[in-house]
């Protein structure tokens, strides 16, 4: 069942952490050390790292063959996308001591992603998500595989105190904390999320929130197209007032703001007036960033798999904002349009290959792609 954000107190975290002390210690074979000489991370990505099991087009990944297992999870995807673009980044989360964990470890090391705050669970496995794809490559997320003991999955059990101990080492370089809403569906990971957000507020680190609604993470029997329950909405809404940037899919904005999807209206409805971006799959993207509003058509590409397109978009956006932080406060309108166009290109390019991480592009590849594509934008 879903859990609400709970009040962040040291006593609450101590109580929850003490009962999971054994599971928070990594095994000797997976004990990690930060590589010397690595650039301090400018973006911290907190949340899930898992495997997306892609079924055959039009088939069921639980029963039909062939299946294609791809590393994924929105925060892990964003971290990998940022690293591929050349932005220093850390992944904050928890993996099982299993083959999936070892594969992620290899990817993180190869992409020079900071893993100082990565936790290892000797009991709970890394999660496998069943992904159904239609004939056009568009996907829906189904159930899960891997929990043989009934203890749940590693990403549900992030130790809040261990996370808090790790976070100060990322200052003063850290500019952004990227979060989603899936950790709210489990008690411990929700506590860790609140702890990270509270730390970011106190440390002057901006929060970027990608709603990334996935109903099966909250209720296993939910249909992938179901919207949030009242309990889930009540858990998600407090995060909206903490973020400097919020990214919605169009249907997520409708659920959270009573059918409203206009970014400037959504931004004005929140106390901190954040940057707001609303995507619509292959349709128009609309934004309100730095006092400027506009919309833009998606790039027209032959999609093989849309998994991770939104995450690549977020990675492209944060990469640009790390390099041009003043745009968030009110840079030139043309500069903001180029930031959004760059992010759109990152998302489009991922759709041209299977999985969320493998097709991610380098900075040079994105610029080359953009040079060959025309783009019209509209100021609103």
Cis peptide before 245 (omega within 30 of 0): no
User: What separation in angstroms does the CA of 153 have from each of 88, 132, 134?
Assistant: 28, 21, 27
268 found inside a domain? yes
247 found inside a domain? yes
84 found inside a domain? yes
d(CA 130, CA 145): 8
The pLDDT of residue 380 is: 37
> How many Cα atoms are found within 13 Å in the side-chain-facing hemisphere of 314?
33
pTM of the model: 0.88
The pLDDT of residue 379 is: 36
**What DSSP letter does each residue of 220-262 carry, written as one string?**
TT--TT----HHHHHHHHHHHTT-SEEEEEHHHHHHHTTT---
Query: What are the mean pLDDT values of the chain's consecutive 10-residue runs (380 residues total)?
Result: 32 37 40 61 98 82 81 97 98 97 97 97 94 68 79 96 97 98 96 98 98 89 83 96 97 95 98 96 91 92 88 97 90 82 96 92 97 56
Hey, is 165 helix, strand or coil?
A: helix
Domain residue limits at 269: 28-379
142 found inside a domain? yes
Residues forming a β-bridge with 118: 93
22 found inside a domain? no
147 found inside a domain? yes
The pLDDT of residue 135 is: 67
354 found inside a domain? yes
The pLDDT of residue 137 is: 56
8 found inside a domain? no
Q: How many domains are contained in the chain? A: 1
Dump pLDDT digits (tens) for 42-90.
Answer: 999 999 999 988 878 777 766 778 888 999 999 999 999 999 999 999 9
The pLDDT of residue 24 is: 40
The pLDDT of residue 131 is: 80
The pLDDT of residue 374 is: 52
Find the CATH number of the domain harbouring 111: 3.40.1190.20
């Amino acid at each position: 069942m879903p859990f609400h954000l709970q009040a962040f107190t040291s006593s609450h975290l101590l109580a929850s952490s003490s009962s999971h002390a054994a599971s928070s210690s990594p095994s000797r074979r997976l004990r990690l050390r930060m590589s010397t000489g690595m650039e301090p991370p400018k973006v911290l990505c907190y949340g899930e790292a898992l495997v997306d099991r892609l079924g055959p087009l039009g088939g069921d990944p639980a029963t039909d063959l062939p299946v294609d297992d791809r590393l994924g999870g929105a925060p892990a995807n964003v971290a990998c996308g940022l690293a591929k673009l050349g932005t220093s980044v850390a992944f904050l989360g928890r993996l099982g001591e299993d083959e999936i964990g070892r594969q992620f470890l290899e990817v993180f090391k190869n992409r020079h992603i900071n893993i100082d705050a990565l936790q290892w669970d000797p009991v709970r496995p890394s999660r496998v998500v069943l992904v159904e794809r239609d004939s056009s490559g568009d996907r829906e997320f189904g159930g899960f595989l891997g929990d043989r003991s009934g203890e749940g999955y590693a990403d549900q059990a992030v130790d809040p105190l261990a996370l808090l101990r790790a976070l100060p080492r990322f200052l003063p370089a850290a500019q952004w904390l990227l979060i989603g809403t899936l950790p709210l569906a489990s008690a411990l990971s929700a506590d860790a999320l609140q702890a990270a957000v509270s730390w970011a507020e106190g440390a002057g680190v901006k929060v970027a929130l990608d709603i990334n609604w996935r109903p099966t993470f909250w209720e296993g029997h939910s249909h992938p197209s179901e919207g949030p329950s009242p309990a889930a909405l009540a858990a998600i809404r407090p995060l909206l007032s903490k973020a400097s940037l919020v990214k919605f899919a169009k249907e997520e904005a409708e659920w959270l703001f009573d059918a409203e999807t206009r970014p400037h209206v959504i931004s004005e409805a929140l106390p901190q007036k954040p940057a707001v971006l609303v995507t619509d799959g292959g349709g128009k993207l609309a934004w309100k960033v730095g006092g400027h509003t506009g919309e833009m058509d998606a790039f027209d590409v032959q999609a093989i798999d849309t998994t991770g397109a939104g995450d690549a978009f977020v990675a492209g956006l944060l990469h640009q904002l790390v390099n041009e932080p003043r745009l968030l406060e009110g840079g030139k309108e043309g500069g903001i349009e180029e930031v959004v166009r760059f992010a759109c290109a990152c998302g489009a390019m991922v759709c041209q290959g299977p999985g969320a991480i493998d097709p991610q592009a380098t900075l040079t590849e994105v610029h080359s792609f953009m040079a060959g594509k025309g783009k019209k934008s509209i100021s609103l």
